A = this chain, B = another copy of it.
Amino acid sequence: MHAGAPLPHLVVVGGGFAGLWATRALADAPLRITLIDRHNHHLFQPLLYQVATAGLSAPDIAAPLRHILRRQRNVEVRLGEVRDIAPARKQLTLADGTVFDFDCLLLASGATHAYFGRDEWATHAPGLKTLDDALRLRRELLLAFERAEAETDPRARAAWLSFAIVGGGPTGVELAGTLAEIARHTLKNEFRRIDPREARVRLIEAGPRVLSSFPEDLSTRARRQLERLGVEVVTGVPVSEITGAGYRLGDDFVPARTVVWAAGVAASPLARSLGVPLDRAGRVLVEPDLSVPGHPDIFVAGDLATVQSGGRPVPGVAPAAKQMGGYVARVLRARLAGTSAPPPFRYRDFGNLATIGRMAAIVHLGRLKLSGLPAWWFWLAAHVFFLIGFRNRLVVLLNWAWAYWSYQRAARIIFGNPPTDRRA
């Protein structure tokens, strides 16, 4: 592309927090930038569980990358899936065959679900990473109640009303808390043959406690808040089997038609084509300047990179991805200006928030620890603030106000063609 163009060409793969923040931080840099993403939008992943649980519409938490970057004239956005990277030749190839030459590359294609070698579970226990995942999950959660209503056999009906969320990290906790709220409040009075409040919502964590990235006391408070919302929390036991009929926990096989996977993530498989050492989760072990060992012009940022900061691994969270993106931009700027390189990447931890459900959350900021309603307000304010787009902020606030006043969820609409329904 652009044969003979004078400016160096930076290709950014992935329009998530790392890729988009790097791109924006290079707005006036003497570079041609091509941003490639499989989706046409930047996704505000921290609110993805709200789309899955019918609280928000897909467009409320996403914005077209082209639109975000329309005024940044040194960027071209390209919808496409990167199939292969040839680091030595400085080329990458899209699934449609297009080849891009690059001078520098930022690989920020993020993470996907991992089933710890049990890929057959993917069919029965979908995960939550993309809007399509969220819409599939929404459909399955809502359909489960419909199937229970139509079912006449009490055991089959109970299996439709049995929900399990595997993984007690932030996503699992959010999904479990919100699903319990839906069963207890949102669907009240709407069914004639079942009582949705009889739904069993189980959150299963193989480790000793939920939200293990928080201090133990906050973790305990989170568990108590979950239980108050009606979630059954099981810790210390891994799920050993998942089928279309249920899951195995220790010696028990528990009938359940809806199992959600929130347990493991693995780096995007694209990392492998770099031909450099990866960690167990498939992430690239980058240099302190986030470049790839042996390839100083190739950087990896966000969930795809693993790097230490202050002696501890940088967590796979949105603020870390944004900081990495910004850091790569600073390294590139210094190189372009011929000034000295910035000091190694250092993660600034501004705190840790997790929401649990209706008016329940936990917050850990340095010495400040909050839980319950104050934490929830803090969480809400932070998330609305960081959403991209004025309209999205307004609509999300409006939907929240509506949901908390009416106990309703605005997006309880089932769509999606039958081929995507594994239960047809």
Chain A interfacial positions (CB closer than 8 Å to B): 39-41, 54, 57-60, 62, 64, 66-67, 70-71, 76-80, 96, 98, 130-132, 135, 142-143, 146, 149-150, 187, 189-193, 391-392, 394-395, 398-399, 402, 406, 408, 410-417, 419-420
How far, in whole Å, are A62 and B57 apart by their CA atoms in the complex? 12
How far, in whole Å, are A395 and B192 apart by their CA atoms in the complex? 30
Given contacts A41-B414, A67-B190, A417-B420, 4 further A-B contacts (CB under 8 A): A41-B413, A59-B410, A66-B187, A392-B410
- Check A192–B59 contact: CB distance below 8 A: no
- Check B142–A192 contact: CB distance below 8 A: no
How far, in whole Å, are A143 and B66 apart by their CA atoms in the complex? 13
How far, in whole Å, are A323 and B380 apart by their CA atoms in the complex? 45
A131 / chain B contacts, CB cutoff of 8 Å: 413, 415
- Copy tally for this chain in the complex stands at 2
A60 / chain B contacts, CB cutoff of 8 Å: 57
A408 / chain B contacts, CB cutoff of 8 Å: 67, 391
How far, in whole Å, are A256 and B40 apart by their CA atoms in the complex? 22
A57 / chain B contacts, CB cutoff of 8 Å: 57-60, 411
> Which are the 7 A-B pairs with shortest beta-carbon distances?
A57-B57, A59-B411, A66-B190, A79-B146, A40-B414, A76-B192, A131-B415
Q: Is the interface of A mostly helix, strand, loop or mixed?
A: mixed
A130 / chain B contacts, CB cutoff of 8 Å: 415
- Check B70–A412 contact: CB distance below 8 A: no
- Check B419–A419 contact: CB distance below 8 A: yes
How far, in whole Å, are A410 and B394 apart by their CA atoms in the complex? 12
Would you give the shortest CB distance from A195 to chain B, in whole angstroms? 13
- Check A58–B150 contact: CB distance below 8 A: no
Cβ-defined partner of A391 (8 Å) among B70, B79, B192, B402: B402
How far, in whole Å, are A56 and B96 apart by their CA atoms in the complex? 31
30 interchain pairs (CB within 8 A)?
A40-B412, A40-B414, A57-B411, A58-B415, A59-B410, A59-B411, A59-B412, A62-B413, A64-B190, A66-B187, A66-B190, A67-B408, A67-B412, A71-B189, A78-B149, A78-B150, A79-B146, A79-B149, A79-B414, A80-B150, A131-B415, A132-B415, A132-B416, A132-B417, A391-B399, A391-B402, A394-B398, A395-B399, A417-B419, A419-B419
Would you give the shortest CB distance from A30 to chain B, in whole angstroms? 17
How far, in whole Å, are A70 and B192 apart by their CA atoms in the complex? 9
- Check B398–A410 contact: CB distance below 8 A: no
Would you give the shortest CB distance from A211 to chain B, in whole angstroms? 29
Would you give the shortest CB distance from A2 to chain B, in whole angstroms? 10
How far, in whole Å, are A408 and B68 apart by their CA atoms in the complex? 12
Cβ-defined partner of A98 (8 Å) among B150, B191, B392: B150
A96 / chain B contacts, CB cutoff of 8 Å: 150
How far, in whole Å, are A395 and B96 apart by their CA atoms in the complex? 38
A190 / chain B contacts, CB cutoff of 8 Å: 64, 66-67, 70, 77
How far, in whole Å, are A187 and B67 apart by their CA atoms in the complex? 8
How far, in whole Å, are A66 and B408 apart by their CA atoms in the complex? 12
How far, in whole Å, are A62 and B419 apart by their CA atoms in the complex? 22
- Check A413–B66 contact: CB distance below 8 A: no
A413 / chain B contacts, CB cutoff of 8 Å: 40-41, 58-59, 62, 64, 131
How far, in whole Å, are A130 and B415 apart by their CA atoms in the complex? 9
How far, in whole Å, are A96 and B149 apart by their CA atoms in the complex? 14
How far, in whole Å, are A39 and B146 apart by their CA atoms in the complex? 11
Cβ-defined partner of A398 (8 Å) among B58, B77, B398, B406: B398
Would you give the shortest CB distance from A56 to chain B, in whole angstroms? 9
A78 / chain B contacts, CB cutoff of 8 Å: 149-150
Would you give the shortest CB distance from A422 to chain B, in whole angstroms? 12
Closest residue of chain B to A71, judged by CB?
B189
